[in-house]
Amino acid sequence: MEIKKAYLSMIKAFPGGWDAMAAALGMSRDALENRIYERKGQSVLVETALQMQAFSGTTHFAEAVAQGSGGVFLKLPSGGDHDREELLDKFNELYAELGDLSTRFKESVADGEIDKREREGLTDAGQHIHRTVQELLTLTFQIYCRRDRAADQN
């Protein structure tokens, strides 16, 4: 996800859209648009982007930064009571995503070439798989690993 697309997605996810997001940030809609579309030498500060992300209840900005850096953003499951059924659900999600990647791959290489759209689709599918694997491992460790005794003492 590109940074600008992330901004637009966060605005769309915020109840009331552009006008409400601008007001929440303490600026006019024009001021927000100028920053998003980089008019008049303006741009969105990282702090503003993080605030937009918090207001929208999304992780779009973090995802865009991670992807732009050649990585993947992963929001890990929070600590708490997780069970083996959740772990099974995560394994099933991973299997489905692997099937999706396999299907996309087969369709993408059918003509002997991967175009830009196909590459984006394969990349997205791969990033979903990375996220799911990390979530699966986090759940596994939360369910099956003993807590660190030092953490219990604090």
pLDDT in tens, 85-101: 888 999 999 999 999 99
Q: Say which amino acid occupies 61.
A: F
CA–CA separation, 121 and 66 (whole Å): 17
Q: How far, in Å, CA of 45 to CA of 16, rounded?
A: 22
User: Could you state, in order of their start, the residue ranges of all structural domains in the chain?
Assistant: 3-68, 84-153
Both structure tokens of 15 = 């109840």
- Cα separation, 92 vs 86, whole angstroms: 10
Tokens at 17, concatenated: 């859209």
- pLDDT per residue as tens digits for the range 126-151: 988 988 998 899 888 888 887 653 34
The DSSP code sequence of 106-133 is: HHHHTTS---HHHHHHHHHHHHHHHHHH
Angstrom distance (rounded) from CA 30 to CA 7: 15
Give the residue from 40, 38, 62, 39 showing the smallest Cα distance to 49: 62
Structure tokens at 84: 């083996």
The confidence score (pLDDT) of residue 152 equals 42
Mean pLDDT of 92-119: 96
Q: What is the mean pLDDT of the chain?
A: 89
Q: What is the pLDDT of residue 148?
A: 56
